[in-house]
Amino acid sequence: MSEWQKSGWRHKPRVQMPDYTDADALHAVEAQLGKYPPLVFAGEARRLKKELGAAGRGQAFLLQGGDCAEAFSQFSADNIRDTFKVMLQMAMVLTYGAKVPVVKVGRMAGQFAKPRSAPTETMGGVELPSYRGDIINELDFTPQSRIPDPGKMLQAYTQAAATLNLLRAFSTGGYADVHQVHAWTLGFTDRDEAEKYRDVASRIQDTLDFMTAAGITGDNNHELHTVDFYTSHESLLLEYEEALTRVDSTSGKWLAGSGHMIWIGDRTRQPDGAHVEFARGVLNPIGLKCGPSTTADDLKVLVEKLNPENEEGRLTLIARFGAGSVGEHLPRLIKAVREVGANVVWSCDPMHGNTIKSASGYKTRPFDSVLREV
């Protein structure tokens, strides 16, 4: 396999990426981002890889969640707090039920770009380029709004940095204390519609009461007072990713400094494509979306390219088939992975394969379908 360079993706076929019309403006933004600090650090990425390795062995559970795409207009401390809060509540119940640690990964602080099924969209007889996420262009259906603007990468960086700053404060400042998280859950179970969860909440409370009586509290046990919380996003806009890629001073390897974990989408996983080329060279944990069109042969090639040393925790395969197709497609991919003896983490994305359009025109997912795929 050829030696990797962070700009090597530029010589590969690229899909789902914008065509910037102002090359000088693009180069100026890339140069500016290249001087900024990385958003995450190599030690954090290595720690996540170690925790994901435990998940691959069945000794931990991966919980990953967040917005489909982060919007500049919806950015607020309250939204970050609420996502973090729900993730911790889910993790507590999963930890109690599965009796294993839960690896908590937010789909945030970088999820600004969107792959699209078509390059253009038509409204009222007018055809314009598709909206590709706030890091690229704007949602308003006007010719000017849909022009890709490289300056938006700077705003995305600023928002990601602020998000990570708040997440780190929440994770280590006492907000994530196990007793605090359970208090939120108890508040939820006070509602009539949450009656079926009260038994679980009561049993968790009994466990916490016993620990407190035994002298095990957040005051004397660091693990009960803080959490490790990681960020992830689809590495779709490679100009942004390359500009934030740095050399890890301790290992000499390259780090994608835009997030702890990055993934390759179902529409950009071509084995000889730009997105696979970029991801194969960074030390971060990598996710790979696998849909109905993923063949066993392609998956074997991708596993070898993305994890040639067969590291535990390096590669997470994210199945997104839909409830009606998962039984047909997932077994053949599991078989392919076993045939090559690859170490992978299996993850289920039950959202993107179960999308329907409601009568109002909005995309939604029936909860029964989501649950059935899981």
pLDDT tens over the chain, length 374 residues: 679 999 999 999 999 999 999 999 999 999 999 999 999 999 999 999 999 999 999 999 999 999 989 999 999 999 999 999 999 999 988 999 999 999 999 999 999 999 998 999 999 999 999 999 999 999 999 999 999 999 999 999 999 999 999 999 999 988 888 877 777 776 766 666 667 677 787 888 888 888 888 887 777 776 777 899 999 999 999 999 999 999 999 999 999 999 999 999 999 999 999 999 999 999 999 999 999 999 999 999 999 999 999 999 999 999 999 888 899 999 999 999 999 999 999 999 998 888 888 777 777 888 888 888 88
Neighbours of 372 (CB within 10 A): 15
**Global pTM?**
0.93
Round to the nearest angstrom and report the end-to-end CA distance of the chain: 36
* pLDDT computed for residue 359 by the predictor: 78
User: What is the pLDDT at residue 158?
Assistant: 99
Per the CB < 8 A criterion, the answer to whether 232 and 284 are in contact is no
Backbone angles phi, psi at 16, to 5 degrees: 60, 25
Instruction: Give residue 192's pLDDT.
Output: 65
Domain 8-176+226-373 has CATH 3.20.20.70: yes
Q: How many CB atoms lie within 10 A of CB 92?
A: 21
Output the pLDDT for position 322: 87
Report d(CA 228, CA 84) in Å as an integer.
12
Whole-number Å distance between alpha carbons of 28 and 324 = 47
| Residues near 24 by beta carbon (within 8 Å), at least 6 away in sequence | none
Instruction: Using CB atoms within 10 Å of the CB of residue 20, give its burial: 0 to 12 exposed, 13 to 18 middle, 19+ buried.
Output: middle
- Count Cβ neighbours within 10 Å for each residue of 139-158 and write b for 16 or more, e otherwise: eeeeeeebbbbbebbbebbe
> Are residues 147 and 21 in contact, defined by beta-carbon separation less than 8 angstroms?
yes
Contact 265, 294 (CB under 8 A): no
